[in-house]
Amino acid sequence: MPLSKLIGPGSPEEPPSGKRERRKEARPGELLDAALDLFVEKGFAATRAEEVAARAGVSKGTLFLYFPSKEELFKAVVRENISGRFKEWNEEFETFEGSAADMVRYCMKVWWERIGATRASGITKLMISEARNFPELAAFYQQEAIRPGTQLIRRILQRGMDSGEFRQLDLDYAVFSIVAPMIFLIMMKHSLGPCAPQDYPLDPERYVQSQCETLLIGLCVRPDGGS
């Protein structure tokens, strides 16, 4: 099965009472949603404010009612979609019961499910594409998303090394063994993938699993020995 939309077009959970009120309260979110899609698809510069507004179902003027400028809209899109879930995730891993290898498996699987397969993955594409145009934002992203993620992975690897599961690794480089395949998958999903569908009929789950297994063999002291 080829890879496809595991995502859904936005979850309108819990609509408030009145119609107007709901829309009013939902406006910023709808705009951010629309903006995320368009920024990911066309980049910041090539996305027109009017198009964002249109896709959100409001007028151009309304957009500027909620965001003082296109640039602020962009920043809001990024900030909104980084949402520090790392505390939560950290706890998840603190209480994780299982081997370090399972943690790596779980980490990559969850990364795909919660980030890669969702609209949130657009942020990764966006930041990597636009980093040079938004250095402050890139720094913010680095600090809020990448650093915590890196720390999480380092802890996992450290744990594996401590427990004797993994061989001695240079963590500064080893983290990228997990990061690179995930980032690559996400970038492809949003750039060349849609342009050359025949060349990327990848099943993301199988991709993740495949990368994961090869990686684990590479990390473990005795890949198939142990037990």
Partner DNA sequence: AATGAATGAGTGTTCATTCAT
Partner DNA sequence: TATGAATGAACACTCATTCAT
The listed partner (DNA, its own copies, none) that binds 114, CB under 5 to 8 Å by sort, is: none
Long-range contacts (CB closer than 8 Å, 24 or more residues apart) made by 105-109: 105/212, 105/216, 107/152, 107/153, 107/156, 107/178, 108/178, 108/181, 108/182, 108/208, 108/211, 108/212, 109/208, 109/212
Q: Residue 70 or 190: which CB sits closer to DNA?
A: 70
The listed partner (its own copies, DNA, none) that binds 59, CB under 5 to 8 Å by sort, is: DNA
Q: Which of 35, 156, 183, 189 binds its own copies (CB under 8 A)?
A: 183
- Min dist CB 179 to its own copies, Å, is 7
As given in the structure block, the two tokens for residue 136 are 């402050």
Q: Which of 35, 44, 63, 108 binds its own copies (CB under 8 A)?
A: 44
* Spatial CA neighbour of 165 closest among 96, 68, 100, 210: 100
Binding residues for DNA, rule: CB under 7 A, are 17-21, 23-24, 27, 47-50, 58-65, 68-71
Q: Is 164 in the site for its own copies (CB under 8 A)?
A: no
Q: Which residues, 6+ apart, have CB-to-CB distance to 148 below 8 Å?
A: 84, 86, 90
- Min dist CB 188 to DNA, Å, is 27
As given in the structure block, the two tokens for residue 208 are 């993740």
- Min dist CB 14 to DNA, Å, is 16
As given in the structure block, the two tokens for residue 103 are 């943690």
Find tokens 């990364």 and name the residue.
Answer: 111
Residue 58 sits at φ, ψ, to 5 deg, of -125, 175
In DSSP terms, which residues pair with 166 in a beta bridge? 220
Q: Residue 110 or 128: which CB sits closer to its own copies?
A: 128
Q: Residue 39 or 207: which CB sits closer to DNA?
A: 39
Could you tell me where the DSSP H helices lie in 111-170?
Answer: 121-130, 135-141, 147-162
Q: Which of 8, 20, 135, 168 binds its own copies (CB under 8 A)?
A: 135
Q: Which of 74, 111, 112, 207 binds its own copies (CB under 8 A)?
A: 207
As given in the structure block, the two tokens for residue 75 are 């920043």
Q: Which residues bind its own copies (CB under 8 A)?
A: 41-46, 127-133, 135, 138-139, 141-142, 146-147, 169-170, 172-174, 176-177, 179-181, 183-185, 187, 190-192, 194-196, 199, 202, 206-207, 210-211, 213-219, 222-224
